[in-house]
Structure 1
Amino acid sequence: MPLLRQRLRRDWLQLTLWILATVLMAYSGFAGVTQSYATLEDRIEVLAAVMANPVIMMFRGLPSGASEGQFLSFEILPWLTMLAALMSIFLAVRHTRGDEEAGRTELLAATPAGRALPTIATVIHGVAANVVLGVLVALALMGSKLDPAGSWLTGIASAATGVAFLGIGLIAAQLMRTSRGANSLSVWILVGTFLLNGIGDVAGTPSNDLTRISSSGLVWLSPFGWAAQVRPYDTDNPVPALLGLAFGLVLAVASVALQSVRDIGEGFIPARPGRVHARPALSSPHALVWRLTNGAIIGWAVGGVLTGMLATKLSGLAGQIAGQNPAVEQILDKIGKAGSLEQTVVSVFFTMMGILAACAAVQILARARQEEAHGTAEIVLAQPVGRVRWLLDYLLVATFAIAIIVAATMLAAFAGIAGSRNADSLAQVVTVVGLGQGLAACVFTVLTALVFVLVPRGTIGIAWTLVLLATVFGLFGPLFGLPQWTTRFSPFAVTPMVTGSATDLRGTWWLVLIVAVGAAASLALMRRRELHPAG
């Protein structure tokens, strides 16, 4: 079908990177488990420690036993399903609401293809991508000599969750008038259902030997819960995965029906009416950029506050968990490499904050590409606003957004450690690591700007891929036993850290140099760059 071929030409690089990152996580996850938790006793102790801490339990998989396969599923299944879900959401919105905003849907609707065929092609395209992802995940696990039945069900659960969120993305594209709104709605549903599944596991009943949990009924309200209830390498029950597949396909059919009863360019959730006259604060181009992106910035800042609260909450319990199982301290030390265990926990969570800040910066710079593709940037540039000034405004707002997220996270962390016995040492970690991760996030600001200037049509896909790869190598690389040199490619892994009471600057000056050169180069190259509309 021509539409499918066209989608494959547009998406082959993005889908390849998403799928390879997921498969790499599956394959390297087994190496991490066997190296870090080599004995059955180690794995049992970790599971017992996790069940004793509801905060950790919310962000892990479903304990279903202590064998290597069962523990691997506990460690990585939530993240495999999340990667599949994000890939599917962005694919669904890009080829429905995104094409509608760009005017491609209206052109196709004027041909014999009609209005429904593009959405049907998107459904087939998304399902096929998830099938490939699921098969490769299963083969990667079987290549690690794990049980074939459990490996196939892990792949099926990942693919089924992707299909479920493909349907959610398609429905969101019908409800919202913009691709940005559809992506935001879908991602918030993803976050909400992920937390709902975690709460359902926390409210469950642990077994007597503390290696298994019978989840509460809340997990059946979440696609992540359906994937977990497959219990690969344990009961190997495929029915919950089929529930996710059916859910996604039902939503896909509903999205086709909804599209047939609305006008092109409209959504079922109406746009908020704007003012007749703009506020005086909108008289400058950088104020316009802030107005376009402030909602997303607030959302990322809320995520930063939660991260800061979790960092201090977990640091207070770290000593108790390490006393139960020293292997926990070894794993955290691999990721954080800080001084005491409490300092390491704070360091790990502030790495997650750096990832959130980088995502916010990429989203803001990607907005510049969207404005250019939709033709609204041309209206701004027709005024006394040069190309360099226009891009500079996006760089400044992205940097300001990083500062807001870092400040919000640090304030939440400071509030959490106030009055604790080692508040001074933890405050030093919060300050040093927080500012360092903010600098790492700025690296992705300038990298996205360079991609936007040099490869405008690849801005969104390449920028998000860079963040994804840096996260995999920087946060999960040490845990999964990847060579240490690979982690140095991630800005998140070379930021300053605190060891005891001393501060190790590590790659700080390299990061500063990259930010300075990248910003200068992107602005200089933008001077002679022509506009590149969608197409």
Structure 2
Amino acid sequence: MNVIGPLLRARLRRDAVQLTLWIAGTLALAAAAVVGVRGQFPTVEDRQGLLAAAIANPVILLFRGLPSGSDEAAFATFLIAPFLMLLAALMSTFLAVRHTRGDEETGRAELIAATPAGRPAAFIATVGHGILADVLLGALVALAFLGFGYPARGSLVLGLSVTATGLVFFAVALVAAQVVHTSRAANAIGVWAVLIGLLVCGLGNALGTPSADLQRMRSAPLAWLSPYGWAENVRAFDADDARPLLLSLALAVVCSGVAFSLHRSRDLGASLLPAPRGAPSAGRLLSGPLGLAWREGRGAVVGWVAGGLIVGLMATRLSSVIAQIGDTIPSVQAVLQALAAQGSLAQGAVEVFFTLAGILAACAGVQMIARLRQDEAAGLAEPLLAAAVSRARWLGAGLVLSAAAIVGVLGAAVVGAAVGLATTDGADTSLLRDAAVSAAGQALAAAAIAVIAALAFVFVPRLAVLIGWAVVGVAAIVGLFGPLLGLPDAVVRASPLASVPVVSGDTVDPRGAVAWVIVVLVAGGAAVLGIRRREVVADR
């Protein structure tokens, strides 16, 4: 076991830059939230008013934490904690897959297994690496909140919540890496687990029971099915009860044990689910770059489309359930009457869910562009371009598939919304119009993000994947949190997700539609023209 130390140090050196970026980004988001709260909600009355509005409109709770009082620290935790946990979960997922299934794909695992270290030592070093990364992230989050003058116990509990959530999804990704035969599939399973867990917790909070003064919320049982729900129910800076985190640790231990057992029992490079066998000869679909792009990306596209269908279905099925809260709780009714400028809860629910569908569509579009860079880095693009395929056709195929993925995700979301309305008694059929308008707007936003990723692929190929996903993350954070962080309106409108057409009452507010159409056309054209003059960059 004395070989575990060198293997662990090698992993730390290899991931130094990536972990630094993940941790720095998480801490920056935490700091921005605290600064925004102190600037936008400096008094208890300000915070009480927003909590009352949030609890009265449960749609807001889909993308926020669990309200636990108007104390400044508890209020900041309500606004930002789920997203600190989300970043920890994504960081841990990618780390786990990279050093297990990813190393097997590149041949690194075979080289290590051929040494006296053997296979188990490499797996144990990966587990130790994940634990160190999550503990470090949680400790720095705790120190950051402590540095802002918040109570030590609450800061520690919040840091433990971030660490525990990261460890759960790290262990889930370890299992996924044993089940499927590619790192792409393992990452997809891990990311979907992260997003579904966040959505389940958000729905559990939205459907929970508010206190009489509309300052606290008790989660519905649904939230307790998600690791996010366990982490949020510690109620940092309020109850500071860390016992729910025992559920997270127990699940992490069980999943890690399952992953280790599968790892020892299978052959190197194999998986619990065998790789699909290819056809003996290529079909006509593979005679051009578009068919090849579809063959490579169809699995991911189908997954994103299924996600869009589910989100659209929930948008209308749950909108009526959420709206009932405002009809049955008197204190909520009073706040809603005071918020005359807001639309109905059902309309707000549709808009929020379709924002989520827009994020899924943007992820699908960027992933199709990222595949071009991954193929190029792996040396797979050079044989293709050596044939009668121009660089412009190659990129064009990626852009077409990206557009098809975006339209597919949001089209499926509209279909899901229609099904939800058709299967709900007394549903407001006008919500289908709201869904269609929101889908069109989010399609434009996702297309803008995808063409920015394409520009990065053309002009800075080595950073293309990082830039593409960073644009998705920044657009989501600015669009969802910009006003709460005190960002200028111009900055918030720079996020495509926050400046596309939506339904406002009985009319459609076009907002920044024209500007984003121009961005899509100009950036897409510049990418196609630029790729014609760029050399193939095959190294990573």
Please give the range of the TM-score, normalised by the shorter of the 2 chains.
Answer: 0.7 to 0.9
Match of 1:451 among 424, 431, 456: 456
Structure 1 residues 250 and 460: alpha-carbon distance in aligned structure 2, compared to 1, 3 A threshold: farther
Q: Are 1:276 and 2:280 matched, yes or no?
A: yes
What residue number does 1:368 align with?
372
In the aligned structure 2, how far is the partner of 1:510 from the partner of 1:56? 28
Deviation at residue 64 of structure 1 after TM alignment: 4.5
Deviation at residue 297 of structure 1 after TM alignment: 1.8
Q: Are 1:324 and 2:339 matched, yes or no?
A: no
What residue number does 1:139 align with?
143
Deviation at residue 483 of structure 1 after TM alignment: 3.0
In the aligned structure 1, how far is the partner of 2:375 from the partner of 2:499? 34
The answer (yes or no) to whether the contact 2:208–2:217 under 8 Å persists in 1 is no
What residue number does 2:49 align with?
42
In the aligned structure 1, how far is the partner of 2:309 from the partner of 2:301? 12
What residue number does 1:435 align with?
440
Give per-residue Cα distances to partners, 1:18-72, cap 9 Å, x unaligned.
Answer: 334433443344466664694375366457536xx6x776765445455444444
Give per-residue Cα distances to partners, 1:47-99, cap 9 Å, x unaligned.
Answer: 7536xx6x776765445455444444444333322221111101211232123
Deviation at residue 403 of structure 1 after TM alignment: 1.3
In the aligned structure 1, how far is the partner of 2:512 from the partner of 2:208? 44
SS in 2 for 1:267: coil
In the aligned structure 2, how far is the partner of 1:449 from the partner of 1:214? 42
What residue number does 1:402 align with?
406
The answer (yes or no) to whether the contact 2:205–2:217 under 8 Å persists in 1 is no
What TM-score comes out, normalization by structure 2 length?
A: 0.82
In the aligned structure 2, how far is the partner of 1:423 from the partner of 1:222? 32
Match of 1:512 among 509, 517, 521: 517
**Given residue 42 of structure 1, which amino acid in structure 2 is its aligned partner?**
G
In the aligned structure 1, how far is the partner of 2:265 from the partner of 2:111? 18
The answer (yes or no) to whether the contact 1:45–1:324 under 8 Å persists in 2 is no
Deviation at residue 397 of structure 1 after TM alignment: 0.4
In the aligned structure 1, how far is the partner of 2:248 from the partner of 2:539? 34
Give per-residue Cα distances to partners, 1:339-365, cap 9 Å, x unaligned.
Answer: 777655544433322211110111122
What residue number does 1:336 align with?
none
What residue number does 2:107 align with?
103
Give per-residue Cα distances to partners, 1:308-338, cap 9 Å, x unaligned.
Answer: 34444566666974743259959x96xxxxx
The answer (yes or no) to whether the contact 1:165–1:248 under 8 Å persists in 2 is yes
The answer (yes or no) to whether the contact 1:354–1:437 under 8 Å persists in 2 is yes
Q: Are 1:124 and 2:131 matched, yes or no?
A: no
Deviation at residue 214 of structure 1 after TM alignment: 6.7
Give per-residue Cα distances to partners, 1:246-290, cap 9 Å, x unaligned.
Answer: 543554465455434433322122123333344444433312222
Aligned residues: 524
Structure 1 alignment gaps of length 5 or more = 334-338
Structure 1 residues 30 and 315: alpha-carbon distance in aligned structure 2, compared to 1, 3 A threshold: farther
SS in 1 for 2:276: coil
Matches within 5 A, 1:170-189: 170-189=174-193
What TM-score comes out, normalization by structure 1 length?
A: 0.83
**Given residue 135 of structure 2, which amino acid in structure 1 is its aligned partner?**
V
Instruction: Name which of structure 1's ranges 403-412 and 304-313 shifts more when overlaid on structure 2.
Output: 304-313
SS in 2 for 1:239: coil
**Given residue 449 of structure 1, which amino acid in structure 2 is its aligned partner?**
A
The answer (yes or no) to whether the contact 2:362–2:450 under 8 Å persists in 1 is yes
Structure 1 residues 193 and 503: alpha-carbon distance in aligned structure 2, compared to 1, 3 A threshold: closer
What residue number does 1:460 align with?
465
In the aligned structure 1, how far is the partner of 2:536 from the partner of 2:110? 23
What residue number does 1:469 align with?
474
In the aligned structure 1, how far is the partner of 2:212 from the partner of 2:35? 29
Structure 2 alignment gaps of length 5 or more = 327-331
Deviation at residue 509 of structure 1 after TM alignment: 3.6
**Given residue 434 of structure 1, which amino acid in structure 2 is its aligned partner?**
A
Deviation at residue 163 of structure 1 after TM alignment: 1.4
Structure 1 residues 109 and 242: alpha-carbon distance in aligned structure 2, compared to 1, 3 A threshold: same
SS in 1 for 2:100: helix
Instruction: Name which of structure 1's ranges 105-114 and 173-182 shifts more when overlaid on structure 2.
Output: 105-114
The answer (yes or no) to whether the contact 1:42–1:325 under 8 Å persists in 2 is no
Matches within 5 A, 1:421-432: 429-432=434-437
Instruction: Name which of structure 1's ranges 105-114 and 457-466 shifts more when overlaid on structure 2.
Output: 105-114
Give per-residue Cα distances to partners, 1:205-251, cap 9 Å, x unaligned.
Answer: 777777352764x7665422331332212332223335534543554
The answer (yes or no) to whether the contact 1:42–1:327 under 8 Å persists in 2 is no
In the aligned structure 2, how far is the partner of 1:299 from the partner of 1:328? 42
Matches within 5 A, 1:199-210: none
**Given residue 248 of structure 2, which amino acid in structure 1 is its aligned partner?**
G
In the aligned structure 1, how far is the partner of 2:464 from the partner of 2:207? 42
Q: Are 1:479 and 2:489 matched, yes or no?
A: no
Structure 1 residues 296 and 31: alpha-carbon distance in aligned structure 2, compared to 1, 3 A threshold: same
Structure 1 residues 305 and 272: alpha-carbon distance in aligned structure 2, compared to 1, 3 A threshold: same
The answer (yes or no) to whether the contact 1:102–1:374 under 8 Å persists in 2 is no
Q: CA RMSD of the aligned region, Å?
A: 3.8
**Given residue 289 of structure 2, which amino acid in structure 1 is its aligned partner?**
P
In the aligned structure 2, how far is the partner of 1:45 from the partner of 1:502? 28
Matches within 5 A, 1:246-325: 247-248=251-252, 251-252=255-256, 255-312=259-316, 321=326, 323-325=333-335
